[in-house]
Chain A
Amino acid sequence: MFVNCSKEGGIGVVKVSDSLTAATVEMFRDQLRSWQEAESDVLNYVIDLGEVDFMDSAGLGTLIAVLKRITERGGDMKIACLQKKPRMVFEITRAYKVFEIYESVEEAVQAFE
């Protein structure tokens, strides 16, 4: 499974387990969407990118699309455990201004409280 979703105190924690690139974003979107449909009461999400060692503009674009969809439904999304290389992509693309980024999943979950 590319995306592993769980619920922590009503917050969806989405753990991504591979690079987020043009080759994998489709899978990421599909798996996340099917989980969201099954758990329609979850509004807020934490995306755990601890195992994502690479990301390109397609991956970033997908995260932005997911954020947009979640906020349209009245929820919010935070990013956790960003590794060094994806962090560089977030920095140079100014994506850090769009997302709230936390060092750990726990911190991100707490930020919702």
Chain B
Amino acid sequence: MHAVINTAIHCPWAANLGDTPWALLPVANRPLIDYWLETCSNQQMQSVQVVLGEGAEEIERFVGAGDRWHVEVEYVFARQSETPHDYLESIAKHWDDGLFYIGGPIFLRHRQAFRPELFQQLPACRHLHGELPYFLFGRCNAAIQPLLRGGEDSNRGLEEIHIHPFILDSVGAYFEINMKMAAGEFVRYVTAGYGTADRSSVGFNVRTPPSSVLQAPIIVGDDCRFGTMTTIGPNALIANHVIVDAFTELSNCLILSDTYIGRNLEIHGKIVSGNRVIDPSDGTSMTIDDSWVIARNRTELRTNDVVRCIFLWFVTFGLVLLQFLPFCLLLPPLLLTGVAAFRKQLCHDPHRGYIELPVFQKKKNVKSAFYRLFRGLSLDRFPLLLLVLRGRMFLCGQPPLRHPQDDAVVGQLRHYIPGVFCYRDYNRDSDLLTDALWYAHIRSLFEDLKILVKALVSRFLTAGRKLPEE
């Protein structure tokens, strides 16, 4: 059987939700196309053709060659002059053995009685939305041809195997299906044992401080961070890479990926997508980029980043000039007494893969005034400052991540910005991953200067004593 997924249909309502192509819009944190490919995989369809239109690159990046679903994906670009019917006719020779066609934002919603085996009983059928076929299925050419010619429309085929073809034709419908998933339907789409008893589902690396309240049923994506005294749920669906600040309440809402929710907010019955708030009842969309309210977790290099890097390069240069003489004076006695020395540590590098960083470490467990002074003045970071001047590191940022110890953390970061100074220099409760995520979101010149000053002062006052995490 040949499968065709047409992602080139124009869906104006989806534009309100941001730049994500509609085929990648998540339902319960999984893109729509993921569900369709999973269906193809479950039904042993080997060959899937994906018709691309707007957002082609992102769709291709997500689907790849189809290995994840054990299918072979072939891409074709839609022609504007061609209707879906014309296209299917043009590839008739491919579907002699059957056709499974998805041609629009449709969610194959499982009823309670649905079982994957029931697909074997699915009759030839076509489900239309307006004049467009959103779903078409037939096991042989003879069964498909009448459907394509506009013969009898059952519009009920899927219902017979307990699938409700839920058509996403508005922001409201999109919100509704997500809320149904958050309210408990999600467990119908996952393998047995995945869903929790109380119908809540929380992804990996989600940090929830003790005072957070999460009320089932909820679905929370990966790499989220909730501030203290945050209340989430019921029916809240939080996608990946979302940061929710303290004292905020979220319920009956859908928060899409890469969103920052500010402090002390109350979001109820809304969709938040990056820097947009959308009211699903009437589709009103408001774009706001204000880190006191909502904002997008930045994904691209911005002008601010460039300005920040240039300014901090000069700050680094000043620090290097200040540290040069003390470094030259204090290092030889330390090396001669053998108290401490630099050793090389293999770390991840955002551009070249790996880099060997000089890490200053005590060799003998003895008290040494030189050693304390050396670390108190942050002279142990002097070689790293030289790397900043060479453009290999940043003055402030995330802690350099070691290889192979921190490989798992690197894989979860969208932005890896290794800095000489970081939160863990002054914060004893620092957590590597959450701080890295937080820095990627909050990074600014002010934040960098704050980290720099706090780190230098803290290291000086503690005379460079090691932090537990170090």
Contact = CB atoms under 8 A, between A and B. Distances in A.
Do A and B truly interact?
yes
Interface of A: 54, 56-58, 84-85, 88-89, 91-94
B408 interface: no
22 contacts: A56-B292, A57-B292, A57-B293, A58-B290, A84-B282, A85-B284, A85-B286, A88-B270, A88-B277, A88-B279, A88-B284, A88-B286, A89-B293, A91-B268, A91-B270, A92-B265, A92-B266, A92-B267, A92-B294, A93-B265, A93-B293, A94-B265
A98 B293 CA distance: 17
B142 interface: no
B250 to A, nearest CB: 10
Contacts of B266: 91-94
Contact of B264 (A58, A85, A88, A94): A94
Given A88-B270, A88-B277, A91-B266, 4 more contacts: A56-B293, A57-B262, A57-B293, A91-B268
B277 A84 contact: no
B264 A56 contact: no
How would you classify the secondary structure of chain A's contact residues: helix, strand, loop or mixed?
A: helix
A84 B294 CA distance: 17
B293 A84 contact: no
A89 B270 CA distance: 12
B288 interface: yes
Q: Give 3 closest A-B pairs by Cβ, nearest first.
A: A57-B292, A85-B286, A56-B290
B238 to A, nearest CB: 15
A92 B270 contact: yes
Interface residues on B, range: 10 to 19
Contacts of A89: 286, 288, 293
A65 to B, nearest CB: 14
A89 B279 CA distance: 11
A56 B292 CA distance: 9
A84 B268 CA distance: 15
B277 to A, nearest CB: 5
Contacts of B267: 92
- Residue of A57, A58, A84, A92 with most partner-chain B CB within 10 A: A92
Contact of A56 (B268, B282, B288): B288
Nearest to B289: A56
Nearest to B288: A56
Contacts of A92: 265-267, 270, 277, 293-294
B290 A84 contact: no
Contacts of A93: 264-266, 293
A85 B264 CA distance: 19
Contacts of A58: 290
Contacts of B265: 92-94
A56 B265 CA distance: 13
